[in-house]
């Protein structure tokens, strides 16, 4: 990963007040104007619509380095096209701006903060906007959906209940997100695995409830917890509330309420299922190992993808390792200053202590409910080491089945070779076989007849 990209990535997580943006400018106009200024090497113009931190990062030298990299890939740069909305992460909105050249195109990912200022810049593979026919097909694929609220009054989370055709009552699956601030579709650079699951399962007779994660839609309620914050506040309580909400609905079968956890949600699925008395659970790319060390492992994998680790990248890895060491020291001795750990890992010490006090595979093995574990062979975030832990814990346990898809990644999308962060920038749907296997499991459990027990 090149140094400018690392610098831009750091800038995206900082909110600093202000440069002045014309009040009449729309977010799309701001993103387009910024990209045009960068392409024109107008550093002052680009910095004029940035946060203070981002403006400091967008030096003329950094812009020249970025444009040199882009030109090496797409030839002489012709210009920047119109911006279009891509997705939202916490308070940040991300826009794609196509940059065309003599030999092809790339997309700038321009990140805007709440004030409409540019807070980050990324470089993505070019993706054409959807055609009218594609948008019409998407609209036609949408199932019957009802808006609901999940969680306590005052900080309830907006959600969507997707229902099959017919009167019901239907079996239902609660979809629990991975780490980070996720919306209800688990939108990641145009990929929306939870929406794909919800729409696909509705066609096969299974309802789903998906909702915006608390760290996405109600951040203030987590900030109020301070150093006492745990994953129970962030994830578990809302998932348990979602199960209770569904059992009270006449269109839902109260005896067939399942929980599906993805990534971190998969690690937490046994705890959620136990507390909510769920009727079954699906663990999709479920993490099992300590997250801080896994963060180091993932970072080392990413910086090594191009075969060369720069000094800046090596320093970043070293900083992260030091933060993990600081966390472990603070867990052993509460007197240790854990500032470095909290800053780098984005959670208080107690968050990780609570998380690591629970062995997810052992928790799954102790539950007497149908359990399906799904793993992608191309996944670099939750790897075969995690899948092996689920296999060892659930071996011989009645009602448990595990499925490995050699060609799927962390988002359960098809492909070849190990995946990468850049691979996520090209949106692809969740593999239909995953939907089919989950639907068969919910309807009939782990039996060779329904194809789930593999």
Catalytic residue of the set 410, 419, 423, 437: 410
Catalytic residue of the set 32, 192, 237, 263: 263
Catalytic residue of the set 196, 379, 386, 409: 379
Nearest to 272 by CA among 284, 260, 285: 260
Q: Three-state SS across the chain?
A: CCHHHHHHHHHCCCCCCCCCCCCCCCHHHHHHHHHHHHHCCCHHHHHCCECHHHHHHCCHHHHHHHHHHHHHHHCCEEEECCCEEEEEECCEEEEEEEEEECCEEEEEEEEECCCCCEEEEEEEECCCCCCHHHHHHHHHHCCEEEEEEECCCCCCEEEEEEECCCCCCEEEEEEECCCCCCCCCCCECCECHHHHHHHHHHHCCCEEEEECCHHHHCHHHHHCCHHHCCHHHHHHHHHHHHHHHHHCCCCEEEEEEEEEEECHHHHHHHHHHHHHCCCEEEEECCCCCCHHHHHHHHHHHHHCCCCCCCHHHHHHHHHHHHHHHHHHHHHHCCCCCCHHHHHHHCCCHHHHHHHHCCCHHHHHHCCCCCEEEEEECCCCCCCHHHHHHHHHHHCCCCCEEEEEECCECCCCCECCCCCCHHHHCCCCCCCHHHHHHHHHHHHHCCCHHHCCCC
Is 316 part of the annotated catalytic residue set? no
**How many Å apart are CA 123 and CA 336, to the nearest integer?**
39
Is 215 part of the annotated catalytic residue set? no
User: What Cα–Cα distance (Å) separates residue 69 from each residue in 1, 76, 96, 303?
Assistant: 12, 11, 18, 17
Is 379 part of the annotated catalytic residue set? yes
Nearest to 2 by CA among 294, 301, 311: 311
**How many Å apart are CA 109 and CA 120, to the nearest integer?**
8
Sign for the CA dihedral angle at 304, 382, 158, 164 comes to positive
Catalytic site residues?
263, 379, 410
């Amino acid at each position: 990963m090149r140094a400018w990209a690392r610098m831009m990535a750091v800038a995206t997580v900082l909110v600093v007040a202000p440069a002045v943006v014309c009040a009449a400018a729309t977010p799309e106009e701001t993103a387009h104007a910024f990209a045009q200024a960068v392409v024109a090497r107008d550093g002052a113009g680009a910095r004029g619509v940035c946060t203070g931190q981002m403006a400091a990062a967008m030096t003329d030298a950094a812009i020249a380095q970025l444009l040199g990299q882009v030109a090496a890939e797409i030839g002489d740069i012709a210009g920047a096209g119109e911006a279009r909305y891509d997705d939202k992460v916490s308070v940040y909105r991300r826009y794609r701006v196509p940059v065309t050249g003599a030999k092809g195109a790339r997309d700038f990912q321009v990140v805007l903060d709440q004030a409409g200022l540019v807070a980050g810049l990324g470089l993505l593979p070019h993706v054409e906007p959807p055609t009218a026919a594609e948008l019409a097909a998407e609209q036609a694929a949408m199932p019957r959906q009802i808006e609901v609220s999940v969680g306590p009054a005052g900080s309830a989370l907006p959600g969507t209940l997707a229902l099959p055709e017919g009167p019901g009552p239907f079996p239902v699956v609660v979809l629990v997100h991975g780490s980070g601030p996720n919306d209800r579709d688990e939108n990641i650079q145009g990929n929306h695995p939870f929406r794909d699951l919800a729409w696909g399962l509705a066609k096969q007779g299974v309802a789903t409830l998906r909702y915006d994660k608390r760290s996405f839609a109600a951040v203030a309620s987590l900030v109020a917890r301070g150093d006492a914050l745990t994953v129970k506040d962030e994830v578990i309580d809302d998932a348990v509330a979602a199960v209770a909400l569904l059992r009270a609905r006449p269109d839902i079968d109260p005896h067939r309420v399942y929980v599906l956890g993805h990534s971190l949600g998969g690690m937490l699925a046994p705890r959620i299922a136990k507390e909510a008395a769920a009727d079954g659970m699906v663990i999709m790319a479920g993490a099992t190992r300590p997250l801080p060390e896994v963060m180091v492992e993932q970072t080392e994998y990413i910086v090594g993808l191009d075969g060369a680790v720069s000094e800046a990248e090596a320093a970043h890895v070293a900083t992260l390792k030091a933060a993990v060491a600081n966390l472990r020291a603070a867990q052993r001795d509460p007197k240790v200053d854990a500032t470095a750990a909290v800053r780098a890992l984005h959670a208080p010490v107690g968050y990780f202590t609570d998380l690591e006090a629970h062995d997810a595979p052992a928790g799954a093995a102790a539950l007497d409910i149908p359990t399906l574990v799904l793993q992608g062979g191309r996944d670099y975030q939750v790897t075969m080491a995690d899948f092996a832990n689920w296999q060892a814990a659930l071996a011989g346990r009645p009602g448990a089945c595990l499925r490995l898809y050699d060609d799927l990644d962390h988002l359960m999308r098809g492909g070849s070779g190990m995946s990468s962060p850049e691979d996520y920038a090209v949106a692809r749907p969740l593999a239909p076989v995953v939907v089919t296997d989950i639907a068969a499991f919910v309807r009939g459990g782990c039996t060779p007849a329904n194809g789930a027990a593999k």
